Amino acid sequence: MAKPKVFVTRIIPEGGLKVIREYCDVDLWVEDLPPSYEVLLEHSQACDGVVSLLTDRIDAHFMDSCPQLRVVSNFAVGFDNIDIPSATNRGILVGHTPGVLTETTADFAFALLMSLARRIPEGIEYVRNDQWQTWGPMLLMGQDVHHSVLGLVGLGRIGVEMAKRARGFDMRVLYTDMYRREDLEASMGLEYASFDDVLRSADFISVHTPLTAETRHLLSKDAFSKMKKTAIVINTARGPIIDTEALTEALQNGVIGGAALDVIDPEPLRADHPLVNMPNCIVVPHIASASETTRTHMAEIAAYNLLAGLRGEKLPNGLNPEAVGTLRQTLPRTFEVL
């Protein structure tokens, strides 16, 4: 019996790839740059499963062009690159990789916060440029992190871990979210606040919400105008939640104090973009989950989601379990061992 055919759109850690290779006939995209939409279609059209990345647009047209497709396994917790309702309507299962990257991403968000508050990148540049002549009483003074106010936009898994780290630094933690978490308010000393109150009161505003139609450009010109002049914005969620142009202007005009961005709209951001060269802005290339252990776990989860989907079973980390009941009836194939 044939093995299922799958397209893996980038090289992911071997821990996941070896599982996929064992059970599937794998087409692995080995280029550094992602396949274009057309190439993605071409490689996936005869496939039973696809392991996708945030750089792959998986829309209704893609699904209709791949008549055998049973499962899309996204190597990410975020899934704004995938049209989930269209997948569900077509009986295609979709998986993602939550949980394993939560603490790794929160560690990184906190590192960004501290780096910018204490001007670490500027200090590194200063020494590299041989500007260091003597100890200076006024040199590179930054903002204290301890006992400051952190405002969380979104209190999901990663937001909660960020709050934990902040509490370790005696920060006051405000959060705004669609859902109120009174349990965490009591157990962790968090304070629920309106979006505007978070903007007005926080020294550091960290974004931990998914990208949706509602959160696109949530941090806009209007939002920046409500923040403290010294406020530092941290984004490890998705770039388009912040209006890049409005942020650039806010930093250029001293409306806010700084921004530390793991994600940005667009990605990649070119080196000649004004944000890249501002001393009060850090831009890094979407690496918050990039620890060896976490990326390996993400690859394993993506592999197990893929295999479950190929078997027509509920995925260990599925986004549309209801689609199990309406799996594509057009699938005559059964696979060995799976």
Query: Which residues here bind ligand 8YV, judged by CB under 6 A?
Result: 53-54, 75-78, 101, 286, 289
Annotated catalytic residue: which of 217, 267, 311, 328? 267
146 in catalytic set: no
CB nearer ligand 8YV, residue 54 or residue 275: 54
Pairing of strands 204-207, 190-192: unpaired
Q: Cα separation of 119 and 140, whole Å?
A: 7
Considering the complex, what minimum distance in angstroms separates the CB of residue 262 from ligand 8YV? 8
CB nearer ligand 8YV, residue 148 or residue 289: 289
Annotated catalytic residue: which of 238, 295, 297, 300? 238
Instruction: Give the residue among 113, 110, 82 at the shortest CA–CA distance from 97.
Output: 82
Instruction: Give the residue among 287, 313, 292 at the shortest CA–CA distance from 15.
Output: 292
CB nearer ligand 8YV, residue 117 or residue 288: 288
DSSP 4-73: PEEEE-S---HHHHHHHHHHSEEEE--SSSPPPHHHHHHHHTT-SEEEE-TTS-B-HHHHHH-TT--EEE
In Å, what is the CA distance from 269 to each residue of 38, 213, 262?
23, 22, 11
Q: Cα separation of 303 and 63, whole Å?
A: 20
Considering the complex, what minimum distance in angstroms separates the CB of residue 285 from ligand 8YV? 10
Considering the complex, what minimum distance in angstroms separates the CB of residue 20 from ligand 8YV? 16
CB nearer ligand 8YV, residue 102 or residue 320: 102
Identity of the residue numbered 104: T
245 in catalytic set: no
Number of Cβ atoms within 10 Å of the Cβ of 144: 11
CB nearer ligand 8YV, residue 91 or residue 156: 156
User: Rounded to an integer, what is the distance from CA 310 to the centroid of its chain?
Assistant: 26
Q: For residues 31 and 55, is the Cβ–Cβ distance under 8 A?
A: no
User: What tokens appear for 33 in the block?
Assistant: 């740059």
286 in catalytic set: yes
Considering the complex, what minimum distance in angstroms separates the CB of residue 185 from ligand 8YV? 27
Q: For residues 151 and 175, is the Cβ–Cβ distance under 8 A?
A: yes
Considering the complex, what minimum distance in angstroms separates the CB of residue 192 from ligand 8YV? 25
CB nearer ligand 8YV, residue 76 or residue 166: 76
Pairing of strands 258-261, 5-8: unpaired
Annotated catalytic residue: which of 181, 286, 295, 297? 286
Number of Cβ atoms within 10 Å of the Cβ of 149: 18
Considering the complex, what minimum distance in angstroms separates the CB of residue 92 from ligand 8YV? 19
Q: Which residues are catalytic?
A: 238, 267, 286
